[in-house]
């Protein structure tokens, strides 16, 4: 019995002493006090030093995209640090190109905040926020695509640009033990700041799509973060070709409705590819746009219509339809959204038709 007690006492006292030492060391050695982060020369954040730049910024509600959560294994959390980060660490160098090294690009998960720093963060990342939302309506657009409307609760409004996407957080459930995040384009327009619409297509066994299609119901609380993405209307006056398939409808719809609201008078054609009639949706709404926008045509096309569909419109793969409508694409701009296969085929076709690569904008739904 006494042997057991001595064992317990000795083990406990050794670990206690070590734990105490660690706590003391942490508060003395690891205490860097308050430091100032100067962002884009116009904004200053007062923060506690001692943890990584990535986590320090997260605590200040600045979310830098990162996939590995700060282990230095994804290389996504790159930021320009002009001053105060010290030399490039061996754990970073594998992720940085020579150009990036010269331009003071660093991995924010490896850089520690110890003193005042000067950083550059892209403006649009500064507006990325986490939002608590509530599902206010869900409806079936097709047999496998659902429209989900989320009402923002905290913060109550989101500023975004038509074409951008958000990340939806799926809480742990049958298919996942930890929260996962999936990106979905916003289908509503930026003028609707309190309510955003998503169009989500069911993928068998997809973690997020199964959650949305089989588990989510009206009234549920959902967390999202965003907005992200460079996909948006350019500020030229070139004629537009929009091509989308499936849930690729979402960002194109947002862009077109935004054009209507802002009275942007660009000539545009919108090719939408689906398999059969049951995969087509929002046709009436798009047809209505033809009369509301000055020069807009909506051309839905079915690649494999069912005989009972009585389809009188265009048939065949979307590339074939675009090919027959557009003799020469030089001088136009293209906005593509859909599966990687569709996008690759369309980019190839448009280039053959004389469109320069920098006039082709796309959002791949991988």
Partner 1 sequence: MSDFALYFSVFFAAVFTNNILLTNYLGMCSFLGASREIKTAAGLGTAVIFVMTVTSALNWVVYYKLLVPFNLTHLRFIIFIVVIAAFVQIAEMAIERLSRKLYAALGIFLPLITVNCAILGASLFMIIRSYGFGQSVAYGAGSGVGWAMAIMAMAGIREKMAKSRIPKGLEGAGIALIIAGIMALAFVGFNGITS
Smaller CB distance to partner 1: residue 10 or 203? 10
In degrees, rounded to 5, the angle at the alpha carbon of residue 110 between the alpha carbons of residues 108 and 114 is: 85
Judged by CB under 8 A, does residue 341 bind partner 1? no
Single out the segment in contact with partner 1 by CB under 8 A; choices: 24-32, 131-139, 216-224, 334-342. 24-32
Smaller CB distance to partner 1: residue 25 or 82? 25
Q: Give the span between the Cα atoms of 56 and 41, in whole angstroms.
A: 18
Nearest to 366 by CA among 194, 248, 226, 210: 248
Contact with partner 1 (CB under 8 A) among 14, 67, 203, 330: 14
Q: Give the span between the Cα atoms of 322 and 203, in whole angstroms.
A: 27
Tokens coding 6:
């001595």
Smaller CB distance to partner 1: residue 116 or 323? 116
Smaller CB distance to partner 1: residue 26 or 59? 26
Q: Supply the DSSP string of 100-168, one letter for each residue.
A: HHHTTEEETTT-B--S-EEEE--HHHHT-EEEEEEEEEEEESSSSEEEEEEEEEES------TT-EEEE
Give the chain's length.
Answer: 366
Contact with partner 1 (CB under 8 A) among 1, 6, 291, 308: 6
> Residue 191 half-sphere exposure, CB side, CA atoms within 13 Å?
9
Find the shortest distance in angstroms from Cβ 82 to partner 1: 17
If you search the block for the tokens 């009275």, which residue do you land on? 263
Judged by CB under 8 A, does residue 23 bind partner 1? no
Residues binding partner 1: number (CB under 8 A): 21
Contact with partner 1 (CB under 8 A) among 12, 26, 140, 340: 26
Q: Which residues contact 187 (CB under 8 A, 6 or more apart)?
A: 147, 196, 197, 198, 199, 249, 250, 251, 253, 254
Judged by CB under 8 A, does residue 69 bind partner 1? no
Tokens coding 235:
């500020």
Contact with partner 1 (CB under 8 A) among 12, 18, 82, 203: 18
Contact with partner 1 (CB under 8 A) among 21, 67, 68, 136: 21
Contact with partner 1 (CB under 8 A) among 12, 15, 179, 214: 15
State the CB neighbour count (10 A cutoff) for residue 84: 18
Helices (H), 183-334: 207-210, 249-262, 283-292, 318-325
- For residue 300, the SS3 value is strand
Smaller CB distance to partner 1: residue 40 or 91? 91
Q: Regarding beta strands 239-245 and 332-338, do their DSSP bridges make them parallel or antiparallel, or are they unpaired? A: parallel
| Per-residue interface string for the shown chain with partner 1, residues 167-206, x marking contact by CB under 8 A | ----------------------------------------
Judged by CB under 8 A, does residue 366 bind partner 1? no
Find the shortest distance in angstroms from Cβ 33 to partner 1: 12
Single out the segment in contact with partner 1 by CB under 8 A; choices: 10-18, 143-151, 250-258, 332-340. 10-18
Judged by CB under 8 A, does residue 16 bind partner 1? no
Single out the segment in contact with partner 1 by CB under 8 A; choices: 51-59, 88-96, 234-242, 279-287. 88-96
User: Which positions touch partner 1 (CB under 8 A)?
Assistant: 3, 6-7, 10-11, 14-15, 18-19, 21-22, 25-26, 29-30, 86-87, 89-91, 112
């Amino acid at each position: 019995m006494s042997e057991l007690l001595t064992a317990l006492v000795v083990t406990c006292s050794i670990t206690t002493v070590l734990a105490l030492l660690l706590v003391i060391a942490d508060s003395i050695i690891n205490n860097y006090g308050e430091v100032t982060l100067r962002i884009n020369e116009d904004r200053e954040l007062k923060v506690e030093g001692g943890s990584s730049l990535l986590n320090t910024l997260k605590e200040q509600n600045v979310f830098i995209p990162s996939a590995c959560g700060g282990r230095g294994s994804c290389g996504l959390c790159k930021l320009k640090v002009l001053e105060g980060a010290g030399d490039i660490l061996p754990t970073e160098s594998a992720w940085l190109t020579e150009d990036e090294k010269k331009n003071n690009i660093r991995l924010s998960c490896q850089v520690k905040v110890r003193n005042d720093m000067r950083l550059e963060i892209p403006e649009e990342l500064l507006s990325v926020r986490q939002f608590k939302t509530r599902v206010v309506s869900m409806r079936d657009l097709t047999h496998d695509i659902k429209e989900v409307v989320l009402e923002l609760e905290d913060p109550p409004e989101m500023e975004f640009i038509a074409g951008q996407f958000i990340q939806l957080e799926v809480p742990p459930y049958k298919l996942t033990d930890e929260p996962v995040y999936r990106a979905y384009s916003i289908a509503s327009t930026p003028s609707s700041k309190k309510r955003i619409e998503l169009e989500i297509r069911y993928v068998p066994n997809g973690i997020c799509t199964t959650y949305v299609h089989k588990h989510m119901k009206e009234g549920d609380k959902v967390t999202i973060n965003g907005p992200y993405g460079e996909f948006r209307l350019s500020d030229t006056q070139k004629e537009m070709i929009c091509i989308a398939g499936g849930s690729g409808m979402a960002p194109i719809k947002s862009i077109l409705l935004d054009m209507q609201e802002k009275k942007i008078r660009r000539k545009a054609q919108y090719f939408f590819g689906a398999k059969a009639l049951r995969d087509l949706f929002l046709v009436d709404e798009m047809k209505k746009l033809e009369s509301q926008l000055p020069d807009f045509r909506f051309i839905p096309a079915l690649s494999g219509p069912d005989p009972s569909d009585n389809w009188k419109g265009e048939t065949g793969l979307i590339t074939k339809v675009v090919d027959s409508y557009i003799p020469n694409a030089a001088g136009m701009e293209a906005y593509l959204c859909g599966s990687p296969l569709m996008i690759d085929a369309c980019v190839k076709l448009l280039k053959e038709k004389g469109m320069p690569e920098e006039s082709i904008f796309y959002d791949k739904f991988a």
